[in-house]
Amino acid sequence: RTVYLNGEYIPETEAKVSIFDRGFVMSDGVYEVVSVLDGKLIDFDGHQARLNRSLDALEIGNPMPDADYLAMFRELVARNDITDGMIYLQVTRGNPGDRDFAYPPKDTPQTVVAFTQSKPGLADNPAAQSGWKVITVPDERWGRRDIKTVQLLYPSMAKMAAKAQGADDAWLVEEGKITEGTSNNAYIVKGNTIITRELSHDILHGITRAAVLRLAREAQMTVEERGFTPDEAKQADEAFVTSASAFVMPVVSIDGAKIGTGTPGNVAARLREIYLDEMR
């Protein structure tokens, strides 16, 4: 595989980053995941805009203009012959010297890494037909979940807890209400109303979420942006999640309780179809 590191396209085995890099010693970095379907980037502009917001929020200098990220992503897709899959991009604060809690000067070169993962048939994932089972766990992440940082240990722990129970993912709960999934935004459906938590520092502002809510409103569905409890979710007609890698993924059970009939719902199926039609 050919990867990108600080302006160069090189074999993955040659891509080396300093052990002093703040991305490594302090998780001081941000990332984006952009899907590729049929060789085409899905919603690049949305992801680029959020990358810029994450960098600004952490006062990490932006090493290059938006157009250069786009050109680089396209180059990686071409060099790796990606039809369906994803691009992972990470920008860290870099760091030339000793470990220090204080940030290095702003003109310190950042580290920029990107690579592709090939996932043939990504949009035809069989899980979309069977739906995900989720469990709930306390949301023990930090307070700025709107910044897409590489601090992903707690979400990984939650994912492992889900797998240990034979589930596919975990929904995180804070003060009695669901925030989001480990790496996706969470929704329930009651009648013709789609309910998902409002935007704040408590959740990542999903790029897929923004597109799906826009398309739902255009299709005359009602959207309520508010928190909901695990109990309300268990009583819902349907549930689903959205992310750049799962698109719209139905959820069929929560903590072992079936949602509706325990099979993927019509609203989720329809939104998945509308989203994929619109974006590819």
Active-site residues, by number, are 148
> Distance (Å, rounded) from C-alpha 25 to C-alpha 144?
19
Closest Cα partner for 221 from 193, 185, 190? 193
Bridge partner list, 115: 88
Enumerate binding residues for ligand PDD (CB under 6 A).
33, 180, 183-185, 204, 206-209, 242-245
Q: DSSP character for 269?
A: H
| Closest CB 176 distance from ligand PDD, rounded Å | 19
| Closest CB 216 distance from ligand PDD, rounded Å | 14
> Distance (Å, rounded) from C-alpha 244 to C-alpha 112?
20
CB atoms within 10 A of CB 145: 21
Q: DSSP character for 184?
A: S
* Side-by-side strand order, sheet with 85-92: 8-11, 2-5, 111-118, 85-92, 29-37, 40-41
| Closest CB 102 distance from ligand PDD, rounded Å | 28
The residue among 95 and 205 lying less far from ligand PDD, judged by its C-beta, is 205
| Closest CB 104 distance from ligand PDD, rounded Å | 26
Q: At what angle do helices 266-279 and 207-218 cross, to 10 degrees?
A: 110
The residue among 116 and 184 lying less far from ligand PDD, judged by its C-beta, is 184
| Closest CB 170 distance from ligand PDD, rounded Å | 11
Tokens of 191: 């009648």
The residue among 136 and 243 lying less far from ligand PDD, judged by its C-beta, is 243
The residue among 80 and 185 lying less far from ligand PDD, judged by its C-beta, is 185
Contacts of 191 (CB under 8 A, 6+ apart): 237
The residue among 28 and 180 lying less far from ligand PDD, judged by its C-beta, is 180
Geometric angle at alpha carbon 260, from 268 and 156, rounded to 5° = 65
